[in-house]
Structure 1
Amino acid sequence: MSRRTASCCCGQLSIEVQGEVLGTGVCHCLSCQQRTGSVFAALAAFASPYTVAGKATEFVRTGDQGAKFRFRFCPVCGSNVFHTEEGADPYVMVAIGAFADPGFPPPQDSVYECRRHAWVKLPDAVVRYEKDPV
């Protein structure tokens, strides 16, 4: 079974996931833009189990549809590494950049296209949603 490790910038916080990527996507919502300091968040979904090493600070945000997302980031360097959605326990979403792997698979989905910066261009095969499709 394949394993991947994602970590924060300083290496204090990491997550090891097992198995294949369930899906990849980008989110252009304003909350993800503010959270990442970028114009979108790039995420990869993995099934449980996963192993976390180090200490994480948590921030819980309620999404537009009422879901609660628990973001984990390093209290030392501030890197956002992964998050979970309450009620969706068998899955974890990992920040693709935390893998530090330029060969990581491209996004399959793009949500909150209504907030996408006009100059951001994604591959044609990406499935696009104006807002959250859930």
Structure 2
Amino acid sequence: MEREASCACGKLRIACRGEPIRISICHCLACQKRTGSVFGMQARFLKGNVRHIAGDSTRFTREGDSGGTVSFHFCPHCGSTVYWELSGVPEAYAVAVGAFADPTFPAPRVSVYESRRHDWVDLADLPDIERLG
């Protein structure tokens, strides 16, 4: 299977083969600010399974709560974050699940920073999800 994610204007794209090694949602306050939503959602793909990255990107790097860094690649034309690199997982790219624009994309299996999850976010339909922090 191959999936392609892109920004809103289509000028920044990443194509990934196979299944993600992790699909997760993050409730940290930085992800809430970055996405403008109540959590961010990512699918991690091994770099060897990324067929291509096309288009220009602007990079924003910040330190995470864990002490590692994360470098977000976003489109300089429309501003959409498409993928990012985590210093703690150098063998993979994280891709914004929404950038795939695929309602059949698999559900998350991990939920992090649960202590910052909005009370009304209900994950009851995901009984096997691993909950961290």
TM bucket (normalised to shorter chain) is: over 0.9
1:70 matched to 2:71? The reply is: yes
1:101 matched to 2:110? The reply is: no
Q: Secondary structure at the match of 1:35?
A: helix
Deviation at 1:89, TM superposition (A): 2.5
Structure 1 contact 24–107 (Cα < 8 Å) conserved: yes
What do residues 30-67 of structure 1 show as CA deviations (whole Å, max 9, x unaligned)?
Answer: 00000000000011010113221000010001011211
Structure 1 segments unaligned to the other structure (5+ residues): none
Q: Secondary structure at the match of 2:98?
A: helix
- 1:14 corresponds to: 13
Structure 1-normalised TM-score? 0.92
Structure 1 contact 42–95 (Cα < 8 Å) conserved: yes
**Worse overlay, 26-35 or 87-96:** 87-96
1:126 matched to 2:129? The reply is: yes
Deviation at 1:87, TM superposition (A): 5.3
Q: For 1:43-62, what aligned pairs fall within 5 Å after superposition?
A: 43-49=42-48, 50=50, 51-62=52-63
Stretches (4+) displaced over 6 A: none
The code of the aligned residue for 1:94 comes to: V
Structure 1 contact 68–86 (Cα < 8 Å) conserved: yes
In 2, distance between residues paired with 1:65 and 1:8?
Answer: 27
Deviation at 1:86, TM superposition (A): 2.3
In 2, distance between residues paired with 1:126 and 1:86?
Answer: 24
Q: Secondary structure at the match of 1:33?
A: helix
- 2:81 corresponds to: 80
In 2, distance between residues paired with 1:71 and 1:126?
Answer: 25
Q: Secondary structure at the match of 2:30?
A: helix
1:116 matched to 2:113? The reply is: no
Structure 1 contact 18–47 (Cα < 8 Å) conserved: no
Structure 1 contact 83–92 (Cα < 8 Å) conserved: yes
In 1, distance between residues paired with 2:111 and 2:89?
Answer: 20
Percent of aligned positions with the same letter in both sequences? 49
